[in-house]
Structure 1
């Protein structure tokens, strides 16, 4: 199943998130991730939603979303080049003797240890979903005690085919 990323510009009003989420459910779409926050224009918020489905169904969903009260615009970001990132915080079991080994795993991902406890570390990582998933796969054998990750945040690329950082 294809993964799609939608940017939904909405009025910053109570109940908007509920209406958007309900529409996804009514149309039998699962929300894989959702992030919502203020945007460049006061009084508006931007939702970034990732979901699965075929292109035709997602285009229908986009057309139905735009009809909702307080929805200003819906952009299908994944149709064109985009930048997408997640943030991960993960607490991993780590005895003092394992810390150097774990640092060797964390460094290539440009992640960082942000807290050290007697028997655990908290690691912060930023990247696309595949990078975050790959880091988690490598950390799993040590024992993941707790993890939290943001949903995807994304924007269309300004200049096509000239990435600064991947």
Structure 2
């Protein structure tokens, strides 16, 4: 493959491949979850996160995604894993943005995946403001691995400060 061939493999091609893979996964998994998979452990638990990485832009632009990463601890203060999210603004206005986001919790017992669409305050309110405004949002759990295989439920994330978050994971 020449460098010209590589540059012709644009984002649209990558999206088509990703969409095809997602559709294939959906057909293989079906409505009932992974065949023969044991359900995830049900229950509610809380984790606390401390931001360890992010590339949130100063100005949100529709279609321009960004990531955040948090190191997670459990109720006893022990390391519990990481939280990583990739978020894309869909619309941006003077009072905030509507975003779609994919979330992956990499926990000691396996992964939990989740997705959401929610209103997000502008970075001027959450990243640079002298007076921080706490905010929260909820994700739908879409699955998992390890002890969380076939997980369902919700994850509510509260942002009490710029660099801290609190996750309430409610698996059903």
Q: TM-score range by the shorter chain?
A: under 0.3
Q: Scaled by the length of structure 2, what TM-score is found?
A: 0.25
- Name whichever structure is richer in helix by fraction: 1
- Name whichever structure is richer in strand by fraction: 2
